């Protein structure tokens, strides 16, 4: 009988490939498109180029802070909100983060709230380590390690920004990097959330 000595290994290899492929396919809708995630040279758009759309009702999304406390989107009702979803492994996100931190520090209580949400599975540990290594000024950030916000909003790429008016309705969205350092950034945020 002429037996192949590797025949017993084939099913194990096929199972591993199936598991890897299945896991990749399951995760794909929740993470950035390769063209966005890997293109650090993509030019950021101006906030003035983002157009308002017809208001759309949103579910009451919830974000976690570093301590694990829940913060529902409704806590900012009555004030415009800009929610920006990013991750430490997304090159355009990494380039935007210092500019977002600087903009966050310039916003006053009358300005729209800037809610910066990390989609990293490692949660606060991954985010704080990243910020420390890259010397990014700390800011109040939020976490979404299970990608529930991305799933609820149908987000398929990072970075991703959506704008909510004072009534809690989505009025604009943009997938890709934004020029947060523009001199008129705060005025444009006010325009979008008005």
- The CATH number covering residue 111 comes to 3.40.30.10
Question: Tens of pLDDT along 139-170?
Answer: 888 999 888 888 998 888 999 999 999 999 99
Residue 149 placed within a domain: yes
Lowest mean pLDDT among 18-27, 95-104, 114-123: 18-27
Q: Which residue, 183, 169, 182, is CA-closest to 83?
A: 169
Question: Tens of pLDDT along 6-16?
Answer: 344 444 434 44
Residue 108 placed within a domain: yes
Q: Which residues form the domain of 124?
A: 34-193
Residue 56 placed within a domain: yes
Residue 25 placed within a domain: no
Residue 2 placed within a domain: no
How many separate domains does the chain show?
1
């Amino acid at each position: 009988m002429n037996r192949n000595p590797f025949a017993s290994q084939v099913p194990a290899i096929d199972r591993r490939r199936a598991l890897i492929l299945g896991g990749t396919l399951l995760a794909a809708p929740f993470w950035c498109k390769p063209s966005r995630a890997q293109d650090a040279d993509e030019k950021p758009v101006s906030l003035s180029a983002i157009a308002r759309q017809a208001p759309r009702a949103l579910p009451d999304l919830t974000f976690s802070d570093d301590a694990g406390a829940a913060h529902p989107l409704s806590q900012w009702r009555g004030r415009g909100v800009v929610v920006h979803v990013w991750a430490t492994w997304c090159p355009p996100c990494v380039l935007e983060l210092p500019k977002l931190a600087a903009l966050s520090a310039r916003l006053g209580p009358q300005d729209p709230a800037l809610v910066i949400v990390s989609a990293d599975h490692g949660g606060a540990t991954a985010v704080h380590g990243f910020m420390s290594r890259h010397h990014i000024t700390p800011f109040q950030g939020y976490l979404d390690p299970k990608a529930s916000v991305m799933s609820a909003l149908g987000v398929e790429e990072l970075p991703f920004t959506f704008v909510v008016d004072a009534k809690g309705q989505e009025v604009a969205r943009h997938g890709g990097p934004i020029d947060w350092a523009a001199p008129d950034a705060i005025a444009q945020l006010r325009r979008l959330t008005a």
